[in-house]
Each structure stands twice: as structure tokens, then as C-alpha cells.
Amino acid sequence: MRSAPELSERLSGSNSDAPVWVDEAGTLDRRALHEEIGRCLDLLVATGVRPGDCVAVQLAPGASLFALLLAIWRHDAAVMLLDHRLTEAETEKLARLCLPAFRVRAPMPATRFTARSELVVEAMTGSVPLPQDVRLVQFTSGSTGQSKVVGRSAASLDVEIDRYAAVDDMPGADDRLLLLCSPVHTWGLVGGVLYGLATGMPVLFPSAQHGAAVVRAATALEPTAVFGVTTHFDMLGRTAGLPRMPHLRVATSAGMITGPAVAERFQQASGCPLGQVYGLTETGVVTADLTGRFAAPSVGRPAPGITVRSSDDELHVWLPRSPYLVEDGVDRFSDGWLRTFDRARVDEVSGAVTILGRADSVVAVGGIKIDLMEVEQVLQEHPDVLNAVVTFGNVIEAHVAARPGLTDRALAAWSRERLNPLKSPKRYYLHDRLIQTPTGKVVRDREQLLSAVAEHRPAADDAGDQ
């Protein structure tokens, strides 16, 4: 079982000119990585960081961020990863849940991934000691409510890296992985950055997250594999005249279940089938079908070493201990089983897991149980609907990202033709796009959705009753 310093040594690798990270402007090799780790380690020691301290890091993804992470582990301290896109208020809210001893920021972000950033370390007051072996603190996406605080040991990260290596079709040292998803969240961090360091696989990064930069990186950097979220593959699939990527053999989405329409468009545009990974911040990867062997909404078989069960049609994952550092009053972990709150079916023969929706998406209306995910799927079949989230207050409400020209009345009429009257939404809120978490997940929390409506536009009429 590796300690944090040992994990850092493993990931740093030997001092050589082997490529580590690549962007359109250049390449950073192992030798430059070692130099940057040394610079960061000197800074940590000079500013008083001690082994066991928790260091909050809030930097734009880049070479200095991940060199700093390795330096913190080399020093046997813990890193708290905060997304750089969070507002100051959001950052302070999360930090109050688990106060760190130090915080690191960059006054000026680097202009490209492979460039070095100047770093500033600040001592904080009132820090909370972490459990002895916790070396990574993360926050869940908050797409369904308040973010939860998760702590992981160096040993659990080391095991997950090896777990990825044992997954069928996982890219390796001979591949070039284009990482489109956030590299500070679990899918991109462990399955992308850390796994790439451990295996010697170069990881490629776009210059920005807008459509043109993603498309340019997907072709110019010549990847053999692409990891992203639904938003990225939807964007690529809708790109007119997307150049074929002749070397691409693996394209995999995570973060949320990717619908068959997005997968089909991407395959038609790129020539590569789209796979799916299902995981949680609390557990890391749970199931993997990297090349789309199973039909959606299946998310593939459990990754090696992962044990799951379906209890009352809800997926549970076995863990040796609770992953949570702060209790939120919800019964999420009991007798070694983590409740995912995702409804699921596990095939007895193949072991493949099919995600059926959220456990909290089933509501009672007029004495009848209604699955809000079913309503979402119907809405998303409309040709002018880009995405939809259906919630329930005292009536069923639909928040819809729609193309220009679609009206709430037209959508309500379309829905009534396809849904039982009790299932048809009574309120429609139409947007150019739905709000997302920094990881690209569509926010599903009703209060956040209604707050976004109030900030940007008046609510739509109750069109469902007309």
C-alpha cells in the first residue's frame, strides 16, 4: 500500500525527455516536470507547510497545478482541489465545510497548459485536521444539491490507477489521450492525468473549452483516445464537416449518462463508437465500457475489484469505509455499502449495470408514481430540444435548453400528444442552455434551476394546462 510520497515517486517517473503533457503550443517532458515539482516543493517548505497539513489548491489546469499536487504528496501533505471556475463566494462556501491549513493561488494564470505559473501560498486560520491517511480532498459536483466533502487516501488512488489499467480497451503507453473533461475532477484526474503519468501515456489538452478549440485539438493533436463528458461529444457530433480522426480508437464519456442520439451523431461524425464510464467522486470508477460494446443505457461491467449490488432497484457500491469527511444528515453509507441514489439493474449473466435514473426522480402525482426521467427522455426527443431537466414542486416542471423559435406552448402541445396527462409538465422554462456544474454536469437541483430562471428571465406561463 503506497504512501503519498511513494505515490508521488511512482507518478513522477524517471528524469527523461519522455513527453508528459502536450498542448498546441508545445510539450512538457519528464525532465521539466521534475524541475517544476522541485520548485513547488521548495515553496511549500519555505512557507511552512508541514506533513499532514491540508493545502487548498485553486489553479487553472496546467503543468504547475499537477506538479504542485505531486510536490504536496512528496511532502506527505494533503491536497484539496478546488475548481478554478468557482466564484469567490462558492469557494468560501466549500472551504468552510473543511477548512484547509494553506491555500495556493496564481496571481496570473498561465497562458497555456504546458507553461509554468507563479504561485502564492497563504496560511489560513482555523484549519480542521484530516483523518491520518487522507491525502486528497474533493467536493462532489453539487448537481443535485449541496456538494459533499470526500477524502481519499494515497493507497486508494494507487489502487484505482491499477484498476483503470485492467479495464478492457483502456489506452496505454502507445496511445495519445486527448483529455476534454476537467482534470481536477475524478474522471479527468485519476483516469486521465494520474493514469497517464503512471503508464507513460502522453495526455493532450485543448487550448480552451469552446467548440472551435475542442475541434481543433481533436484533429491537430492526433489523439488515439478521447475522454470527455456528454457536452464535448455532443459538440463534436454537431460540428459540420468534422475532420475524420484516423488514429482514434477509443472515445469515452462520463459524468452523466450519454443518450443514444448523442452517441450516434458522434460516431457518424468521427467514425468511432462512443463508450461510457460510470463513477462517483466517492469511489472513482465503478463501471466501464470504453468502446460502447453494451447498448445504452448500460454503462458496462464493474471495473476490476469493484463490487456492486442492486438493492430495492438502487445501486450500491462496496467500500471499506465511509468516504465522507463531513456528515450532511443523509444516510449514504451503511455496513460497507455506499448508496448511490441511482436506480439500476444488474444483469445476472453479464454483470453489466444499466442505470435507470435517480431514486429521487420518482414522484407521486394523483396517486400514481411517475419517473421524471421518463418525461425528460420524451422531451429530449423533440428535434428543437437540446437538453431537459424535469423537477417536481407542487407540479411537474420542465427546464429545457431549446433552439430559437421553440415556444413553451408548442412544446406543451407536443408533450401532451406523447405523455399521459398526469406526466405532462405543467410549467416550462425555456433557455438557450441549462446551467452546469464546473464538470459539465447539468444541474438538477430545483432551487438552483429556479434561481437561474429568476436571475435571467421571468418564468414561462403555465402552458401545460392550456
Question: Grid cell 435507470 — which residue?
Answer: 356
So what's the pLDDT on residue 143? 54
Can you give the pLDDT at residue 284? Answer: 96
How would you write 14-45 as a 3-class SS string? Answer: CCCCCEEEEECCEEEEHHHHHHHHHHHHHHHH
Residues 6+ apart with CB under 8 A from 76: 3, 4, 5, 51, 52, 135
Residues of the chain below pLDDT 50:
458-466
| pLDDT, tens digit, 9 for 90 and up, residues 143-152 | 555 788 999 9
Domain ranges of the chain: 1-165, 173-362, 366-465
Would you state the pLDDT for residue 439? 63
Task: Check residue 219 and report its DSSP letter.
Answer: H
pLDDT in tens, 421-463: 888 999 999 988 888 876 667 888 888 888 888 876 544 444 4
* CATH number assigned to the domain with residue range 366-465, chosen from the 4 options 1.20.1560.10, 3.10.129.10, 3.30.300.30, 3.40.50.300: 3.30.300.30
Q: What is the C-alpha to C-alpha distance for residues 386 and 402, in angstroms, rounded to an integer?
A: 5
Do the domains 173-362 and 1-165 match in fold? yes
- Residue type for position 366: G
Give yes or no for a contact between 280 and 340, defined as CB atoms under 8 angstroms apart.
yes
Write down the pLDDT at residue 431.
87
The CATH architecture annotation of domain 173-362 reads 3-Layer(aba) Sandwich (3.40)
Q: What is the pLDDT of residue 460?
A: 44
d(CA 224, CA 244): 12
For the domain 1-165, what is the CATH superfamily, name and number? ANL, N-terminal domain (3.40.50.12780)
| Axis crossing angle, helix 211-220 with helix 230-237, rounded to the nearest 10 | 80
